[in-house]
Amino acid sequence: MTGGAWKELVDEVATATELSQPWRSAFEDVPRARYVPDDVFVPEPGTPRAYRTVARHTEPEEWAALVCSKAQVVTQLTPSPFDGAPTPSSSSSAPEAVARMLALLDPAPGARVLDLGSGTGWTAALLARFGTLVVTMESDPELAAQVRARVIDCQPPVTALHGDATLGHPDAAPYDAVHVGFSVREIPGTWIGQVRPGGRLVMPFGTLFSNTGLLRLTVREDGQVAEGRFHGGAMFMWERGQRPSWAQAVTDDPERAASALDPRTLLATGASRWAVGLQVPGVTWDPVAADGDRLLRLWCTDGSWATVAVDRWNKPDGVAQSGPRHLWDEACEAWSWWDGKGRPGRNRFGVSADRGGSCRAWLDSPRFTLPGALDSTAHSRPATPLPSGRSNSATGPR
Ligand SMILES: C[S@@+](CC[C@H](N)C(=O)[O-])C[C@H]1O[C@@H](n2cnc3c(N)ncnc32)[C@H](O)[C@@H]1O
């Protein structure tokens, strides 16, 4: 049953992503059922942030349907540092996202590929089946051991390592390509230094405002800088060291004013959220309810926060802002810049990253750097989020 369902899924994915025949064959030959563990986790309907285990041995049909589906399959849960709630910390990525990333990476058979964030090992196995020489790295020791066991029969052999992927693996450098299986908002300079000039890096790249970009960089001939554009969207879990963390929110009385912009306009499309996120470093948002108002809440690393009343945004007290940064003003300014540029879509943006770890975003060409800096990894979540003292119900990016 799994074989037919897998073939059907590969057909669907191949059509949607215009996958080349060699990659299509690799997907057909390496079903993810071989790599996904026996216990996987699905969200419990109606109970936010709760998961139910689907075990291969007791619910074989449900398990098989999950691994033959287009969805990402959660394979590990760990307690959230915010409130202890179970949070996905590893998964088998959605087949269509994997196919798009591998097609973007476009390695030649025989290429040396560094695969970062092994997860289940499925992507590494696909790369090997395609004929590349793969080194894969996973920071979770248990997962890394499982991957080592699962890729044992791969040809050419896969080197499966336990380690922190942000350091890369200099022993086997230079690589022709780096494939990253988690999302980042800072690009480690070590990665650039371990790829040959002309080599590629493909990674999910996001901001705390919008963790949704898929980025391909090419290392310049001087070997010092890698740059390239976004190629559509991708939603991946954060690199473990770049997960958002707690900080104390500023408790001063907020400044109140009318908003210049309807918050629904600012958040209207994926493109608007994306463009704003590239210009408001460290800022996260979520919708909350307080004192009968629907609020949009923003917060950031240094304790600054803002709320905007969604239905009363243009009233004199529609916006409350506190802390060293005026987050809502920044977001409105970022939106106006994007609007003034004719509302460019995500794929017109790109990033330049260097061996020193610096990273900047641009529009259309590396010559046109965006106003505002990109996120850095020191980020926060408000401990005391609202002046009304309501509890923090945020889930935010994880
Ligand atoms: C979405 S999963 C990757 C899925 C994988 N491509 C597959 O085919 O199963 C992301 C993985 O990255 C790992 N990870 C996150 N940060 C890491 C780091 N700094 N070093 C190594 N692995 C990391 C996580 O533990 C997780 O297993």
**Domains by residue range for the chain, with CATH:** 2-181 (3.40.50.150)
Residue 270 gets which letter from DSSP? H
Residue with tokens 């691994």: 67
pLDDT at 278: 96
Phi-psi region of 199 (alpha: psi -120 to 50; beta: other; left: phi over 0): beta
pLDDT at 246: 65
DSSP assignment of 77-95, as one string? EEE-TTT--EEEEEEEPPH
275 Cβ inside 6 Å of ligand 1: no
239 Cβ inside 6 Å of ligand 1: yes
Q: 24 C-alpha vs ligand 1 centroid, how far in Å? A: 23
pLDDT at 377: 54
350 Cβ inside 6 Å of ligand 1: no
Residue 307 structure tokens? 């709320």
338 Cβ inside 6 Å of ligand 1: no
Which residues face 51 on adjacent strands?
A: 43
Contact 395, 49 (CB under 8 A): yes
Q: Is the peptide bond before 174 cis (omega within 30 degrees of 0)?
A: yes
Which stretches in the chain have pLDDT values below 50? 1, 378-385, 387-398
Q: 384 C-alpha vs ligand 1 centroid, how far in Å? A: 31
pLDDT at 291: 82
pLDDT at 251: 80
pLDDT at 247: 66
| Cα Rg of the chain (Å, integer) | 22
97 Cβ inside 6 Å of ligand 1: no
Q: 183 C-alpha vs ligand 1 centroid, how far in Å? A: 9
pLDDT at 236: 96
- Integer Cα distance of 86 and 342 in angstroms: 41
Alpha helices in the chain (DSSP H): 2-17, 21-29, 60-67, 95-105, 122-130, 141-150, 189-193, 263-266, 270-277, 327-340
Q: Which atom of ligand 1 is nearest to the CA of 137?
A: 21
Q: 169 C-alpha vs ligand 1 centroid, how far in Å? A: 15
93 Cβ inside 6 Å of ligand 1: yes
92 Cβ inside 6 Å of ligand 1: yes
pLDDT at 393: 34
Residue whose CB lies within 8 A of the most ligand 1 atoms, among 75, 136, 139, for a mutation test? 139
Residue whose CB lies within 8 A of the most ligand 1 atoms, among 138, 186, 202, 214, for a mutation test? 138
pLDDT at 380: 45
Is the whole model's pTM more than 0.85, yes or no?
Answer: yes
Residue whose CB lies within 8 A of the most ligand 1 atoms, among 92, 118, 186, for a mutation test? 118
- Catalytic residue numbers read 93
DSSP assignment of 308-349, as one string? EETTSTTSTTSEEEESSS-HHHHHHHHHHHHHHTT---GGGE
Q: 27 C-alpha vs ligand 1 centroid, how far in Å? A: 20
pLDDT at 43: 95
Which residues face 135 on adjacent strands?
A: 114, 159
pLDDT at 252: 81
272 Cβ inside 6 Å of ligand 1: no
Measured CA to CA in angstroms, residue 217 lies from 151, 197, 351 at distances of 28, 11, 8
